[in-house]
A and B are shown apart, each in its own frame.
Chain A
Amino acid sequence: MIELSIPFLLSAILVMLTVLAVFIVYILFQRSREVRFNKARAVYLQTYSQAWYAFLFQDAEFSIAMIPRGKAQVAAVEEIFSSYLKNVINAEVTNKIQNSANQYLKKFYAKDLTSRFWGVRMNALYRIADFRINELLDEALQFEQKKISKEEYFQLLKIYSILQPEIFLKKIKEARTRYSESEYRRLFILLSDDVFNQMFDDFYNNEQNIQLAIIDTTAVKRNMQFIENLKRLLNDESDEIKIRALKGLYEIGIVDEIDTYIPFVTSNVWEIRLMVAKIFKYAPLTYTYPYLEQLLQDENWWVRSQAAKTIAEEREGVAKLQQFIAHADDQYAIEMVQETIVRKQGNR
């Protein structure tokens, strides 16, 4: 028998309803605060966004009235700054935003960093990075000593990478927390070429996620000087690193010689053969054709398909493919080539 008396249940329901009633009152209160907040923000935006534009872009005087007072006005200024930073590149404007943030927003973010809400702390960290508030670097270093989440630490790393790259390089080596590749990429893409080069010099002292992120970032930076770095990695024993390096070279899209890539035509990893078939797009067909013909008869569908596509890209490619069909006996390859020709001509 379960002892569930009606009075007990009734009082339990009553307690819960009371809690909910209190909660609803709290929400009401919060809503009205929000309305006031939004209004104050809108008023500030209405009044001062022109003044900010004049100050940031046209060297107008800064008026004391523009100094944000209270959270709502801070939110308005944040909105103005973010809109500019997101849409406009201009060193002078960025500097002015940095100075203004150092002067007028610093104290708000320093306080936010001590908030008990994770969300509020994160927002503050985002803004410190966005507006490059270097005067909060000490606070950031102190903040690091606290028990903070992985995400907060990540933001700290970002702040260091922007404001003080030396600290960043040191912290990355400490590897206090492990992040995913894509997160590392988000960090590395922000680094200046100089700092990034230092990361590359230290390539093998990092864990694999960092290594892979470095390779991918290299590809995006599209810097000619990095090509040699990537080619060197082709001798690595890890297939994954080889594939990534090839992918990076493909994305940079500059092939000055094909000798480096020839050994990979016969690799026993199909992804590597696929990447080679892709890279050959950037070399003259006269040099690459014998190898591409070999790849046309590959056992893997993707490799065959890519080889056919690469050949068809060049002007006399389709003719070459038709020649190939005429005296080939590999049925799979022939089918692939026929399909590629159809597609190439169909989409014209």
Chain B
Amino acid sequence: MDMPMMSQDVMQEHEVKRYFNILRESVIRSHLTMTVVFLTFANDVQNHAVPEEMSMFLKSKLRKTDLLFQLVDGKHWGIFFLQSSVVEARAFLERIFNILEEEHSNLLVNATITEIRNNDVSFDTLITQNKQLLTKIGQKKWAVEEIIDYQQPPTEHVKVSVIEQNQIFRQVLEVAISQLVIPHFSLEVSTYEDGYSFFQSNNYKSAHIHLIITNDILPRKNGFEILHLLRAMPNGNKFIIYMMSERNSESVAINAYDGGADEFITKPFNLRLLEAKIKRTFERLWL
């Protein structure tokens, strides 16, 4: 293994290692899935120009947000696909395999995919594991295997605040939402009778993602004011705000959306629908 096999234009293993930790943490914080693909040759390559050719080829096929690097041995390549899941990685591989078969018939390639949604994995483990897997499937051609160990997001604690005046209905919402099972999220539900008591509680100050389900009319500090105050906060985006209203009037709904509400729900509504909306809202947090 001598130096000429290394491409000058492609990042090297030791350079990428530093980035990986940052990328991995931002996966958790921003709920953006990252997928890593490793590639290697399935056949024995003698020609020194081939790895260089491979580097150039891969580079030409990537988006600006994808990060290509070469491992120390010069025979493995890795790619970080940011904001992408295994589906996109597979699509990418399928595409380049087709092109390789047609245009570079001298290259036979195998690949592995690792989808990352938690921070349980270190860079070294990642590389070791993938290398091992690639070796294992060394006999095949055009094979794609997956490592699924890091695909489960960590369970995230989120807050839900129900702000509704009618005590009976407030209870209904509290029970219904507490019983919701949303994978990878644990909900902490609290209820308030109006905006004033909500702001008194200071519950809104934590950094957790916070779903607010509020009525528009409330005795002290109404829904619109809650909406405005929360959206004006520096980290206002952590709030997901649903507004409920018994006023069946377009202008109220438009005002709510203009003010930054994520959902406007006219009463009476179907609880199951609300539950489905909440579920979908949280699922959508992970790409």
Contacts and interface: CB of A to CB of B under 8 A. Distances in A.
Interface string A78-115: 01100111111110000000000000000000000000
A88 B172 contact: yes
Contacts, number: 43
B168 A80 contact: yes
B271 interface: yes
A53 interface: yes
Contacts of A79: 168
Contacts of B172: 53, 57, 83-84, 87-88
Contact of A49 (B168, B267, B268, B269): B168
A87 B175 contact: no
Contacts of A57: 172, 176, 271
B270 interface: yes
Main secondary structure of the interface of B (DSSP, over half): helix
A80 B166 CA distance: 10
B171 A89 contact: no
Contact of A89 (B166, B176, B246, B268): B268
A83 B271 contact: no
A87 B269 contact: yes
Interface string B154-175: 0000000000001011011001
Interface string B267-285: 1111110000000000000
Nearest to A82: B168
Contact of B267 (A45, A53, A80, A87): A87
B261 to A, nearest CB: 18
A87 B267 CA distance: 5
Contacts of A83: 166, 168-169, 172
Nearest to A56: B172
Contacts of B166: 83, 86-87
B247 to A, nearest CB: 13
A89 B270 contact: yes
A27 B271 CA distance: 43
Contacts of A84: 168-169, 172
B168 A88 contact: no
A50 B171 CA distance: 8
The residue in B175, B268, B269 that gathers the most chain A C-beta atoms within 10 A of its C-beta is B268
A192 B166 CA distance: 29
Nearest to B270: A89
Contact of B171 (A53, A85, A86, A88): A53
B168 A90 contact: no
A89 B269 CA distance: 5
A87 B269 CA distance: 6
The residue in A83, A85, A88, A89 that gathers the most chain B C-beta atoms within 10 A of its C-beta is A88
Given A53-B172, A79-B168, A88 B269 contact: yes
Interface in A20-75: 45, 49-50, 53, 57
Contacts of A87: 166, 169, 172, 267-269
A196 B143 CA distance: 64
A85 B268 contact: yes
A86 B268 CA distance: 5
Nearest to A94: B268
Contact of A86 (B176, B267, B270): B267
Contacts of B169: 83-84, 86-88
A86 B166 CA distance: 10
Interface in B215-267: 246, 267
A84 B267 CA distance: 10
A80 B171 CA distance: 11
B43 to A, nearest CB: 60
A90 B273 CA distance: 10
Contacts of A45: 168
Contact of A53 (B175, B269, B272): B175
The residue in B166, B172, B176, B270 that gathers the most chain A C-beta atoms within 10 A of its C-beta is B172
Given A79-B168, A83-B168, A83-B169, A88 B175 contact: no
Nearest to B244: A87
A315 B171 CA distance: 48
Contacts of B246: 86
A179 B145 CA distance: 75
A90 B269 CA distance: 8
Contacts of A50: 171
Contact of B270 (A49, A53, A80, A88): A88
Contacts of B168: 45, 49, 79-80, 83-84
Interface of B: 166, 168-169, 171-172, 175-176, 246, 267-272
Given A89-B269, A90-B272, 20 more contacts: A45-B168, A49-B171, A50-B171, A57-B172, A57-B176, A79-B168, A80-B168, A83-B166, A83-B169, A83-B172, A84-B172, A86-B267, A86-B268, A87-B267, A87-B268, A87-B269, A88-B270, A88-B271, A89-B268, A89-B270
List 9 tightest A-B contacts by C-beta distance, closest first: A83-B168, A87-B169, A89-B270, A89-B268, A83-B169, A87-B267, A87-B268, A88-B268, A83-B166
20 contacts: A53-B175, A57-B176, A57-B271, A79-B168, A83-B169, A84-B168, A84-B169, A84-B172, A85-B268, A86-B166, A86-B246, A86-B268, A87-B166, A87-B172, A87-B268, A88-B169, A88-B268, A89-B268, A90-B270, A90-B271
